Structure 1
Amino acid sequence: MMGLSAPSNRVREQVLALIKSGEWAAQGKLPTERALADRFDVGRRHVRQALDALENEGLVWRKQGKGTFLGQPADPMGDLAAKITGETNALEVMEARLCIEPELAALCAHRITDDELARLRHLMQRQFEAGDAQATELWDGAFHRLIAQCARNRPLLTAFALLDKIRSNATWVSIRAKARDGASLAVTHSEHLAIVDAIALGHADAARQAMRDHLDTRFKALQGEIAALASAEDRKFFAADVDT
């Protein structure tokens, strides 16, 4: 990654690999900087720089005096999301995303900074280059999360965080992974590029439409996967209206 020394970038890649492996998923917290430095046999400065990079990418967050944690800070909507997960389905969540994320993209087009735009392009490329389903999910989530954050609208961000928490359900993640293949990933990259280009130009209407087009593509792919693979019981859980 640009801006990191070779040792710091190596630590970043090692930490990223461990995040993807799920080693720290249960506790949601990374070891201390000292422990990571000992594990990777580097100075703490390199660990700190690597964690800075991962934090900028939206993959970890830190709280002074508490440590470094996976993902994003807990949102008060987390408990609500856990309750709603059992009362909704994947297609309803996609419908809600189609209502919210195009507007987030439009606001982002007016409010994103140059540094944030560079990060967004980096996340887009990482998602395209991801070598497995878990990495694809990781980078795709970070890409959409950064757009939501850069919209700088707290109520909309809270709504997005609620949906993001719901869609992190492991079974739903596996269904989304099955709906992706080489061709669909190429389409996703093209659609992500259209979103980023519109945001970069400050064209809110174009960013809104590009996000809507992208989510509509994923919505249709999800419908097809559920209809093709889900059992009758799964279909009831994931989508009450798979034939619509």
Structure 2
Amino acid sequence: MDEDGSNSDVALERLRHYLQNSKVPADGKLPTERQFAELFGVGRRAVRRALEALEAEGVLSRRQGAGTFFGGQGALLETGLVDVSRTDFIEIMEVRLRLEPQLAQLAALRAKPEHVARMRALAVKIGQLTDFDERELWDGQLHRSIALAAGNRLFLSLFDAVNRIRQDEAWRAVRERARNTNRSGDVTTEQHLHIVDCIARRDPVSAGEAMSSHLLILQESLMRQTSLDGAVGPVEKDSEDPGFLNNGAFKR
């Protein structure tokens, strides 16, 4: 965490859990940023960003001078999470490489114009951010928007389970070092926009391939960084297996 205790993904996860298990009624007023920060053990900046993310999802609304209000349990129907055991980044990337290209393909078939507009806005937003914690939060929101547009609730639950790993400190530290080493912000933005363009064109094959390419570059960067750290994962050799890259893309 940074000096003010910020970890936006932790705050987002804990807010979701709080809302799912609270008895706050629809349009009920929520605690303040300060109260949430104390309750969750994170910085207020992290809470503020997490609230902004949930507001963008339509889960809650913030009213100037009045506070923050919950949209009700109905707003959380698509945010169910599955508990996962702690794992390493190689296993995470293996799952992402098999899951997210399929989600991109389905999104290309099912995304509504408002889904595409949100994806594009998020891709642009991420490209403009310089704070790592904030980039991580909105990067997760972009990938989740694609999962949501896929229109499969079970897939979305699986995505959310994997995405929870972002809050792990070791995972965040490796990603931050890899990003700083490679200075890949512009490339990532181009990749994000390309994925969105493929979805907008309703081209599932290209969307799946674009997502695979994006994740493979991330995986390579992470492997390189952990090699420098002397912490190469036990199954790195599998990434050289051609079968490892086969994500089951749609065939024309």
Q: For structure 2, which runs of at least 5 residues remain unmatched after alignment?
A: 20-27, 34-49, 62-67, 239-252
For 2:59, which of 47, 61, 68 is the aligned residue? 61
Distance 1:52 1:113 in 2: 25
The TM-score, its normalising length taken from structure 2, stands at: 0.66
SS for the counterpart of 2:167 is coil
Maintained 8 Å contact 1:19/1:25: no
Correspondence for 1:184: 184
Distance 2:5 2:80 in 1: 21
Correspondence for 2:146: 147
Distance 2:109 2:80 in 1: 25
Following superposition, the deviation at residue 193 of structure 1 comes to 1.2
Maintained 8 Å contact 1:32/1:68: no
Distance 2:172 2:104 in 1: 23
Question: Alpha carbons of 1:121 and 1:92: their partners in 2 closer, same or farther (altered >3 Å)?
Answer: same
Correspondence for 1:239: 233
Distance 2:6 2:113 in 1: 28
Question: Alpha carbons of 1:32 and 1:174: their partners in 2 closer, same or farther (altered >3 Å)?
Answer: farther
Question: Alpha carbons of 1:217 and 1:21: their partners in 2 closer, same or farther (altered >3 Å)?
Answer: closer
Correspondence for 1:94: 93
Distance 1:56 1:198 in 2: 27
| RMSD of Structure 2 on Structure 1 (CA) | 3.6
Distance 1:178 1:199 in 2: 30
SS for the counterpart of 2:59 is strand
Following superposition, the deviation at residue 57 of structure 1 comes to 3.2
Distance 1:35 1:212 in 2: 40
Q: Output one character per residue of 1:196-230: Cα deviation in whole Å (capped at 9) or x when no partner.
A: 11001000000000000000000000001111124
Give the alignment of 1:37-48 within 5 angstroms: none
Moved more, 166-175 or 204-213: 166-175
Correspondence for 1:161: 160
The TM-score, its normalising length taken from structure 1, stands at: 0.68
Distance 2:163 2:32 in 1: 31
Q: For structure 1, which runs of at least 5 residues remain unmatched after alignment?
A: 1-17, 37-50
Q: Output one character per residue of 1:68-108: Cα deviation in whole Å (capped at 9) or x when no partner.
A: 79xx776341xx21xx11xx210110011000000000000
Correspondence for 2:65: none
Q: Output one character per residue of 1:42-84: Cα deviation in whole Å (capped at 9) or x when no partner.
A: xxxxxxxxx99744634x7349x98479xx776341xx21xx1
Correspondence for 2:222: 222
Maintained 8 Å contact 2:81/2:158: no
Q: Which amino acid aligns with 1:61?
A: V
Maintained 8 Å contact 1:20/1:135: no
Correspondence for 2:25: none
Distance 1:243 1:53 in 2: 40
Give the alignment of 1:191-210 within 5 angstroms: 191-210=191-210
Distance 1:196 1:217 in 2: 17
Following superposition, the deviation at residue 242 of structure 1 comes to 4.5
Following superposition, the deviation at residue 132 of structure 1 comes to 1.2
SS for the counterpart of 1:202 is coil
SS for the counterpart of 1:57 is helix
Question: Alpha carbons of 1:97 and 1:67: their partners in 2 closer, same or farther (altered >3 Å)?
Answer: same
Distance 2:214 2:149 in 1: 19
Maintained 8 Å contact 2:81/2:160: no
Following superposition, the deviation at residue 34 of structure 1 comes to 9.2
Maintained 8 Å contact 1:93/1:167: no
Following superposition, the deviation at residue 166 of structure 1 comes to 2.5
